Amino acid sequence: MTRIVLSTGNIISGGPSIIRKPGTYRSNLEFTNSLRSNFLAAQQDYAAELQNGNGNGNGVSGYHDQYAQPNGSRPATEVWTEMDTATSTLYVPRVDWSSGSLQEDREQYEITLKLFFLPTAPANERAAYIKTALQLVTKELGVRSVDLLIASFPGVSFEGDCEWEADKLNANMGNDEEELTTWRELEALQSEGKIRKLGIAEFGTEKLARFIKQVKTRPAVNQINVKNCCNVPPPLTKLAKEERIELLTHGDCTDILPSGTLRELLGQGLQGAGVLADGESTGGGLRGNLIPEWVVKYTAFVKDRGVIENKGYFAGAELVEH
Amino acid sequence: MGLLALGTALDWPDAQQHASKVREWGIKQLLEIWNKAKHKERDAMLWGDEIEYLVVTYSKDDPKVLLSLRQADILTALAADEELAQKGGGVPALQDLDASQSNPLPVFHPEFGRFMLEATPGKPWGIGFKELLEVEPDMKLRRKIAKEHMKTNEYPITLTTFPRLGVPGVFTDPYYPPSGSKLRSQFVPDEIANPHIRFPTLAANIRWRRGRKVQVNVPVFHDKNTASPWKDPTVNYDMHKWPEDADARNGAAPDNFIHMDAMAFGMGSCCLQITFQAKNITEGRKMYDQLSPIGPIMLALTAATPIYKGFLADTDVRWNQISTAVDDRTEEELGEKPLKNNRWRIPKSRYASNSTYISTDNRLRPEYMDLNLIIDESIKGQLMEGGMDERLATHFAHLFIRDPIVIFAEDLEELDMSKTDHFENIQSTNWQHMRFKPPPAGSDIGWRVEFRPMEIQMTDFENAAFAVFMVLITRAILSFDLNFYIPIAKVDENMETAHTRDAVLEQKFYFRKNPFPTRPPRSAVASGTSTPLMSRPASPSGPVEDEYALMTINEVINGSQTEDHDFPGLIPIVESYLDSVNVDVQTRCELATYLDLIRRRASGELWTAAKWIRQFVAKHPAYKADSVVDDEINKSLVGAVIDISEKEQVGKGWKGLDGVPDLERLLGQFRGGCGGGGGKEAGE
């Protein structure tokens, strides 16, 4: 069994991936495009390092040849990814931990995480997912704690022709029990001081009302997607106001990393990273069943300047060998 | 307050003698500020907007709308309002205001025109997204307070220019005859300017230095019944009171142009200016450069100036009229005579589009710079000797090619290094479309950048929309590290293009195709044992001409997809910024309304103020398709603008303004709409 950790690096100045195409309201394009371009950049950077790597004096000629793909444009996976054998984790691409740290003092920032628990992953592993995601982000940004963590649960969405309809549909979505269990894990991290505020995403009036009755710490934030009506259902507005829960907007889709998408991202196709073997082919690459587990989106926002300094994603998946 | 510092203003021949001294002292003061503030860091994003009003008299019974010249009385009334002062508002030029208030009321300022008023928020805005929603109510409050301190028949309106400024006969209240000693204008009296000695001196010395009156010529709009060639019927060729009266006889008023001859025709225009505080000098320099190419786009998009001196013009914006109205260049500097007494031929007026880029950004290519830039080499040398880098020294050495226009004898006695008066003398009479502002002496204010091209809009909803949009675009530029560089010559060209009638729909502008930074190679490569080599082109090295394309305003604002480029559009860029920050639903929806207004103006779905005014005139029963905007049309137009403004104050939509044609083409269903359509349009 191999864990795979995908990362985008800082995408805030990474070019067009971050620009929303007009007309799209909920999408994972930012995430998938950023992953793709980070894979490509890493392949180019590390391959270039190899090719120009004779300066270290060992003078091994042809060193890079053994890593070059026989047929092509992509450098071998080993060159631009990293296998941590101790934890059996493959980092795609290698993470450059030195590049993400914040430029100003910690207190200048509002650091927000949104953790997507994916429908493909077992709910009883969420404690581990939270720990891993938090660890990766805090390491990337060089901080000890984050300001807000928003939990996005699978199967919960706020979608419909208009927000009113969305609110009704929402009432029976998700799995209350699993969500409460996960919340308790988050509450524990909050009391340890690792997370300042907690939030949830896409909770409609009914679901939210049920939820806050059963939790110790109420969410400070509920993120909802407003498509185009800009009419938040009045009961939700009222409840949020009474309970002092801030209703924030977002444009993410809930199932941000379906298996098929991940397989395509890592596969041998034209758009793929070449990490994963194709089903029937005899070519290289890892084999097995790929299960996306979680995605974390993080942003570091300089509060009194309104500037986003760092934004990126990590994602976790498991490769189960046949 | 420097503005009110009274003293002995020198006439031009005297002032000219001391110009070098003022420049020399100004540079010393600049170096002093620069040395003190160059390491200033971590200033918050604060910003401010300025709204300028015309004050008009309007009553149902009076067939004429006039400009009220009671600026001083209105400001005195505002300053005397104790309640206003208690809450931090008032007139800083006339009184000490309590800046300690947490939410001070707005403040009011005199302007060049004696019929003008300027209002700013009581304290600078921050970047809390909810705070951005306070801008519009604050603007409305300013208008309300201003109105409350006027006579019942006086109104503050936000038209850029008074359509009948300078017509024969009466257009001011009270009436003063034209042809005074200061302006020597055929059309406007000296009393049109703020009587504070600074302003008439400014106007007189510009004329004096120039050697003749300023020539503000705007092409007339040729309608069906407009004569061709058209001769401005209001020009009197037979005046002999001042030597300058000969200007008209010597070709100052060519055929087919509306001819104006005084500073008031330009500096009497109302604009919407936004000032941003930067984190530090580096960020300030970057914002200055990156906002510069956006200037002409916003000028065209806010177009609101189709009428001058009672005639429809063939241009839509005020910019060039202000430029020529304060153009103090001599015949030698203009290139009309060989250089003898002057040092340079100068390609641009003091009021013009930017001539420099100043950022330390390595994406700033030498090819972008202005090839015709005139600088004072010795000043550049002094600044560099004082430790300033070449690029910034070049910028100031360019501003300092100008003479100081107004010099007070008292200020020449001693150089006060704790002040910045001499520096500001030159700096603040360089009216470029961006202004880079060092921190003022003795304050905690940081490095600032002023965005100056936008035209004032008739409603505060629109003014707030454009102000907030500019704030958001600066945040997106800094967050995404965007790059809008194009050659300065192309920005100049765009500025001219923006003047064209309906440029917003009919013209194309040079704009950078790809605004994104190239991703730097990861540091692991750079810090590895090997020599860092870029695996792909990190900095642009192709021809500069390939970096930009001609785009419509719609493409620049809303994005485009052509074979040549897929510029994402400024609005999608701003929306992507908002997608990445924590913003509450209500705020996001309100901000979406502002973005929506701009999106629709750019697409042509909604009209610019200029187009709306043109249509208003064209449809008016008194209009004879001869380009003439007479008293009757003027009264209807100003009356409509007052009605719109009063409706906006009530805040219940535009319903009931049946007498105002095409309002839905100007404002759509925004802010309650015009009736019928319902209010569901906001976020679509």
Taking the CA atoms of B404, B406, B412 and B415 in sequence, report the sign of the dihedral they define. negative
| Distance of alpha carbon A159 from alpha carbon A227, whole angstroms | 8
Quickly list H helices, A251-311: 259-266
Is the separation of the CB atoms in B119 and B460 below 8 Å? no
How many A×B Cβ pairs under 8 Å? 145
pLDDT tens for B624-677 read 999 999 999 999 999 999 999 999 999 998 888 888 999 999 999 898 876 543
Arithmetic mean of pLDDT, B131-158:
97
Cβ of B7 under 8 Å from any chain A Cβ?
Answer: no
Contact: B576, A41; criterion CB under 8 Å: no
Arithmetic mean of pLDDT, B274-290:
97
Is the separation of the CB atoms in B448 and B143 below 8 Å? no
Distance linking the first and last C-alpha atoms of chain A: 10
**Whole-Å CA distances, B283 to B448, B452, B511, B538:** 9, 18, 22, 21
Domain count for chain A, please give it.
1
Contact: A21, B580; criterion CB under 8 Å: no
- pLDDT > 60? residue B93: yes
pLDDT of residue A73: 66
Contact: B523, A232; criterion CB under 8 Å: no
Shortest CA distance from A150: residue in chain B: B582
DSSP for residue A257 = S
Arithmetic mean of pLDDT, B186-203:
94
Crossing angle between the packed helical segments B460-480 and B585-603, to the nearest 10 degrees? 100
Enumerate the residues of chain A whose CB falls inside 8 A of the CB of residue B530: 49, 52-56
How big is chain A by its Cα radius of gyration, in Å?
21
pLDDT tens for B102-141 read 789 999 999 999 999 999 999 999 999 999 999 999 999 9
| Distance of alpha carbon B397 from alpha carbon B402, whole angstroms | 10
Substitution target from A30, A244, A249 for chain B, most B beta carbons within 10 A: A249
Q: Which residue has the tokens 């649960």?
A: A153
pLDDT tens for A240-284 read 999 999 999 998 988 899 999 999 999 988 889 999 987 766 667
A213 located within any domain? no
A54 located within any domain? no
User: How close B324 gets to chain A, by Cα (Å)?
Assistant: 38
Quickly list H helices, B459-526: 460-480, 488-497, 503-506, 523-526
Report B:55-94 residues touching A (Cβ under 8 A): none
A206 located within any domain? no
Grouping H, G, I as helix, E, B as strand and the rest as coil, residue B296 is helix
Arithmetic mean of pLDDT, B186-200:
94
Grouping H, G, I as helix, E, B as strand and the rest as coil, residue B457 is coil
Contact: B529, A44; criterion CB under 8 Å: no
- Distance from CA of residue B5 to its chain's centroid? 25
Crossing angle between the packed helical segments A176-191 and A126-141, to the nearest 10 degrees? 40
A80 located within any domain? yes
Is the separation of the CB atoms in A156 and A176 below 8 Å? no
User: How close B424 gets to chain A, by Cα (Å)?
Assistant: 27
Ramachandran assignment for B558, one of left (phi > 0), alpha (psi -120 to 50 degrees), beta (any other): alpha
Q: Which domain holds residue A27?
A: 1-47+67-107+255-322
Arithmetic mean of pLDDT, B588-596:
94
Amino acid (1-letter code) at residue A206: E
Report B:29-58 residues touching A (Cβ under 8 A): 42, 44-45
Q: Rounded mean pLDDT of chain B? A: 93
Is the separation of the CB atoms in A224 and A235 below 8 Å? no
Contact: A22, B558; criterion CB under 8 Å: yes
- pLDDT > 70? residue B534: no
User: How close A321 gets to chain B, by Cα (Å)?
Assistant: 32
Enumerate the residues of chain A whose CB falls inside 8 A of the CB of residue B583: 248-249
Is the separation of the CB atoms in B437 and B275 below 8 Å? yes
Measure CB to CB from residue A249 to each of B478, B571, B588 and give the nearest one.
B588
Examine residue B515 and say whether the peptide bond preceding it is cis (omega within 30 degrees of 0). Answer: no
Strands B351-352 and B431-432 come out as parallel
Strands B47-57 and B154-157 come out as antiparallel
- pLDDT > 60? residue B532: no
Structure token pair of residue B423:
């520096």
pLDDT tens for B460-500 read 999 999 999 999 999 999 999 999 999 999 999 999 999 99
Closest to B268 (Cα-Cα) out of B217, B201, B203: B203
Contact: B529, A96; criterion CB under 8 Å: no
Measure CB to CB from residue A249 to each of B518, B585, B680 and give the nearest one.
B585
DSSP for residue A191 = H
Quickly list H helices, A52-157: 77-80, 126-141
DSSP for residue A228 = S
pLDDT tens for B51-69 read 999 999 999 999 999 999 9
A234 located within any domain? no
Cβ of B679 under 8 Å from any chain A Cβ?
Answer: no
Alpha carbons within 13 A on the beta-carbon side of B421: 21
A294 located within any domain? yes
Enumerate the residues of chain B whose CB falls inside 8 A of the CB of residue A311: 580
pLDDT of residue B98: 74
Alpha carbons within 13 A on the beta-carbon side of B306: 28
CATH numbers and ranges of domains, chain B: 43-373+428-503+570-583+610-646 (3.30.590.50)
Grouping H, G, I as helix, E, B as strand and the rest as coil, residue B614 is helix
Enumerate the residues of chain A whose CB falls inside 8 A of the CB of residue B44: 304-305
| Distance of alpha carbon A2 from alpha carbon A140, whole angstroms | 22
A124 located within any domain? no
Grouping H, G, I as helix, E, B as strand and the rest as coil, residue B179 is coil
| Distance of alpha carbon B521 from alpha carbon B503, whole angstroms | 42
Contact: A229, B680; criterion CB under 8 Å: yes
More confident residue, B572 or A68: B572
Enumerate the residues of chain B whose CB falls inside 8 A of the CB of residue A251: 579
| Distance of alpha carbon B614 from alpha carbon B607, whole angstroms | 10
Is the separation of the CB atoms in B569 and B556 below 8 Å? yes
Enumerate the residues of chain A whose CB falls inside 8 A of the CB of residue B521: 41, 45, 48
Q: Which residue has the tokens 């799209």?
A: A24
| Helix, strand, coil distribution of chain B in percent, nearest 5 | 40, 10, 50
Is the separation of the CB atoms in B302 and B452 below 8 Å? no
